[in-house]
Amino acid sequence: MENPFKPTAGATPPDIIGRQGLLDEFAYGLRIRSGAPGLLTIFTGARGVGKTVMLGAAENTARAQGWAVISETATHGFLGRIGNAMGEFADELGDGPSGRKITGVTVAGFGVTTHLPPEKQVEWRETGARLLRLLDSRGTGLVITVDEIHAADRQEIAQLAADVQHFIREGLPIGLVFAGLPAAVSDLLNEGVATFLRRADRIDLHGASIEEVQRSYEQTFAAGGFPLEPALAAAAAEATGGYPFLIQLVGYFLWQEAEEASELTAAHVEHAVAAAHRRNERVVIEAALSSASHRDLDFLRAMAEDDDASSVGDIGARIVAKPNTIGNYRSRLIDAGLIEPAGYGIVRFAIPGLREHLRENR
Ligand SMILES: Nc1ncnc2c1ncn2[C@@H]1O[C@H](COP(=O)(O)OP(=O)(O)O)[C@@H](O)[C@H]1O
Ligand SMILES: [Mg+2]
């Protein structure tokens, strides 16, 4: 058995820990079809917590029930791409323009403009309704997933929301599942660009519990023929803090150790944990910090002086800045997914290991 762990962004792990309840709810919504609450969902959470994996799992659930799935990332022009995909699905399902065959190349389509001009908007909605009626007649529907909506153009999101709302009103079977960083999603909802989205189930994803991780490690290693003692599995699980990306990294490196050793020991676990933390630091933390300015870094370093959450007032005193300047840095860093609000005037790091990284790299 090859190493089953998947320490890569968006890659489906061997065991999707702690999400079965959410997936069951989504599957239930698919059975109810039009208007079920689970079919309008926004997953939020820090980098590496498993948002993209949740979208993938929701897509698989939908496909397994015969639904059509369109999977997009909210980069420039996603609304047009969704329109093209809907058109292709509708043609495939058989009522396309006579004689027209899908060649894999979309000719006319919706182009790559940001939001669609009015005439294209009408066409988009007609294409969607045509597809949804076809799917409805087969007892299924369409699920659209959009990842990274924190980066979305507001007008495109507003258009998509308005169209989906219209389909739901018509009783058509559509599901819309979004994922994005928490603070940016809050802004999006508060700005009122798409009030309809406030009705979505907003699910803030968190890490798994240490016990769940331990159990999962024991099972995955046993399935590969590498028995892992409960105490070692517990130590490995503990070192992940339940953070999904670290769960995969620790599992991955420990599996490598297991392939070479006759029996796993505490030293192997320590080794794997150290390698995992180094990799997490390189991949997640350095990438997250790459867009931070000098002043952002000053703010973060001032936070790293605290052992727990920090008061924004204290940070202002440490780096000697005016409250409104501090407020600006605070919101920039929240949008970047580096820190998160933890109560009034309180912030904390949004990525595990960030504090330690800042302390060690002054
Ligand atoms: N429920 C989970 N259980 C175990 N590992 C997970 C889970 N969700 C995600 N992962 C792993 O965590 C990492 C980050 O997942 P990803 O979905 O890319 O996070 P995000 O989109 O929130 O940044 C990947 O390596 C993935 O395999
Ligand atoms: Mg992601």
Q: How far is the CA of 52 from the centre of ligand 1 (A)?
A: 7
Q: How far is the CA of 145 from the centre of ligand 2 (A)?
A: 12
The pLDDT, as a whole number, for residue 194 is 79
The pLDDT, as a whole number, for residue 171 is 94
Residue 55 above 70 pLDDT?
yes
> 186, exposed or middle or buried, with CB in 10 Å at 0-12, 13-18, 19+?
middle
Q: How far is the CA of 208 from the centre of ligand 1 (A)?
A: 11
Kindly report, residue by residue over 183-220, the tens digit of the pLDDT. 778 888 888 777 888 889 999 898 899 999 999 999 99
Q: Is residue 221 domain-shared with residue 150, that is, in the same domain? A: no
Kindly report, residue by residue over 60-107, the tens digit of the pLDDT. 999 999 999 999 999 989 999 999 999 999 999 875 554 444 444 444
How does DSSP assign 183-209, residue by residue? Answer: HHHHHHHHTTTTGGGGGSEEEE-----
When pLDDT is cut at 50, 70 and 90, the band that residue 332 belongs to is: confident
The pLDDT, as a whole number, for residue 102 is 43
- With beta carbons less than 8 A apart as the criterion, state whether 310 and 271 touch: no
Q: Is residue 29 domain-shared with residue 178, that is, in the same domain? A: yes
Residue 151 above 50 pLDDT?
yes
Q: How far is the CA of 8 from the centre of ligand 1 (A)?
A: 8
Question: Of ligand 1's atoms, which has the minimum distance to the CA of residue 19?
Answer: 1
Q: Is residue 49 domain-shared with residue 194, that is, in the same domain? A: yes
- With beta carbons less than 8 A apart as the criterion, state whether 4 and 225 touch: no
Q: Residue 248: nearest ligand to its CA?
A: 1
Structural domain including 256 reads 210-288
Smallest CA separation from ligand 1 atom 9, residue:
50
Q: Residue 10: nearest ligand to its CA?
A: 1
- With beta carbons less than 8 A apart as the criterion, state whether 71 and 148 touch: no
The pLDDT, as a whole number, for residue 113 is 65
Q: Is residue 32 domain-shared with residue 156, that is, in the same domain? A: yes
Q: Phi/psi of residue 179, each to 5°?
A: -140, 145
Smallest CA separation from ligand 1 atom 13, residue:
245
Kindly report, residue by residue over 109-122, the tens digit of the pLDDT. 777 666 788 888 89
Residue 18 above 70 pLDDT?
yes
- At 209, the amino acid letter reads S
- At 34, the amino acid letter reads S
Count, residues in the chain: 362
Q: Which of 245, 264, 288 is the last residue of a domain?
A: 288
Smallest CA separation from ligand 1 atom 15, residue:
50
Question: Of ligand 1's atoms, which has the minimum distance to the CA of residue 10?
Answer: 18
The pLDDT, as a whole number, for residue 188 is 83
How many independent structural domains does the chain possess?
3
Q: Is residue 114 domain-shared with residue 177, that is, in the same domain? A: yes
